[in-house]
């Protein structure tokens, strides 16, 4: 998501509400992939990137990006984890470097979950850990609820578990913004698309507070530029979700994955989010409490973009959890 200029936020009083942290130190550049592939799935092919040795002694980690319509770029700050195990990224169908048939018939939760298993089979991975972020957390939740034998550990990072809870959190966070921004967001919610430019300013203010509190690293900007425009798919996002992070009018507007929490193996599950996350720590903590034995971690200083806002802290948290999961194997 695009971030608003910090000077505007400071002028609006947002810094006094939620202090903005110092710039995080992301990777200066990304190492080249060890392996790339286009994997057949229902509806087309998805782009897969691997860093590290898939045949190494520790189970690899698959990372599932958010959106819907996002790309794996947002999770590449997790690449340092490849010093211990292979890390696998992929772009969901109609996103990023994957095929774009642009057929809404493919935009079903179950089909996106099936992509996960298709990637595993194509790479020949017998056992792995899976981390899903945001909407990717929805995909990971659904995958984990299937209790596949290949799943060594499941991490739900800032996940969308149920739309009603997500919108409830968004309403709390909008109300906490400085009055001019809050009132502008509420006014714009009543305006049908296309909205006037000033509505975009208020929306970006929400994102800057709760979605991503730091600018993209130089490595991520260069990587996205190299993709030649094959990035975020706004049509997919709007069709499945809606016009913004705090308005859901798409096919996910009634999504409820809460019953799936009872199917998860708590010993194998991590819930993680940022201190200033739009997936509020209070909500994610409550979800974690409903999965006996699950771990729960909050990344200090991070908003929703935990890997981008606080890469070192997030990687350390995930690395420790992965080590504990390996010990259970």
Residues 151-165: tens digit of each pLDDT = 999 999 999 999 999
Higher pLDDT, 276 or 4: 276
Residue numbers annotated as active site: 134, 277, 304
Q: Return d(Cα 31, Cα 248) in angstroms, integer.
A: 37
Region 61-72 average pLDDT: 97
pLDDT of 32 > 80? The answer is yes
Query: How many other CB atoms are there within 10 angstroms of residue 254's CB atom?
Result: 10
Amino acid 12: pLDDT: 37
Q: Which residue has the tokens 């990587």?
A: 223
pLDDT of 17 > 60? The answer is no
**Domain map of the chain by residue range?**
6-328
Q: Return d(Cα 10, Cα 181) in angstroms, integer.
A: 12
Q: 228 — phi, psi (to 5°)?
A: 65, 40
Higher pLDDT, 68 or 28: 68
42-46, 61-65, 123-127, 199-203 — which is least confidently predicted? 199-203
Q: Return d(Cα 9, Cα 181) in angstroms, integer.
A: 9
Query: Terminal CA-to-CA distance of the chain, rounded, Å?
Result: 38
Q: Which CATH architecture has domain 6-328?
A: 3-Layer(aba) Sandwich (3.40)
Region 138-162 average pLDDT: 98
Average per-residue pLDDT in the chain? 90
Q: What is the pLDDT of residues 205-255, one digit of tens each?
A: 999 999 999 998 889 988 988 877 689 999 999 999 998 898 899 999 999
Amino acid 57: pLDDT: 96
Amino acid 190: pLDDT: 77
Q: How confident is the model at residue 199 (pLDDT cuts 50, 70, 90)?
A: confident
Amino acid 194: pLDDT: 65
């Amino acid at each position: 998501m695009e971030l608003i200029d910090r000077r505007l936020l400071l002028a609006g009083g947002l810094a006094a509400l939620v202090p903005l942290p110092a710039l995080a130190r992301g990777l200066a550049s990304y190492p080249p992939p060890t392996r790339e592939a286009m994997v057949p799935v229902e509806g087309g092919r998805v782009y897969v990137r691997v860093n590290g040795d898939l045949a190494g002694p520790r189970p690899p980690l698959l990372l599932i990006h958010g959106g819907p319509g996002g790309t794996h770029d947002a999770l590449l700050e997790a690449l340092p984890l490849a010093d211990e195990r292979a890390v696998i990224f992929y772009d969901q169908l109609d996103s990023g470097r994957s095929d774009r048939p642009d057929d809404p018939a493919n935009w079903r939760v179950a089909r996106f979950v099936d992509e996960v298993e298709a990637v595993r089979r194509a790479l020949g991975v017998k056992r792995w850990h899976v981390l899903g972020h945001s909407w990717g957390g929805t995909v990971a939740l659904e995958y984990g609820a299937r209790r596949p034998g290949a799943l060594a550990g499941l991490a739900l990072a800032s996940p969308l578990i149920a739309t009603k809870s997500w919108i409830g959190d968004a309403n709390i966070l909008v109300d906490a913004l400085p009055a001019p921004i809050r009132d502008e967001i509420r006014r714009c919610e009543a305006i049908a698309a296309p909205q006037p430019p000033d509505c975009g300013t208020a929306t970006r203010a929400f994102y800057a507070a709760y979605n991503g509190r730091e600018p993209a690293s130089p490595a991520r900007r260069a990587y996205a530029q190299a993709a030649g425009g094959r990035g975020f798919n706004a049509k997919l996002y709007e069709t499945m979700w809606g016009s913004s992070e705090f308005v859901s009018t798409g096919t996910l507007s009634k999504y409820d994955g809460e019953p799936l929490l009872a199917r998860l193996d708590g010993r194998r599950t991590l819930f993680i989010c940022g201190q200033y996350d739009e997936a509020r720590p209070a909500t994610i903590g409550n979800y974690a409490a409903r999965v006996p034995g699950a771990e729960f971690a909050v990344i200090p200083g991070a908003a929703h973009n935990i890997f981008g806002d606080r890469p070192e802290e997030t990687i350390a948290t995930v690395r420790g959890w992965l080590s504990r999961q390996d010990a259970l194997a």
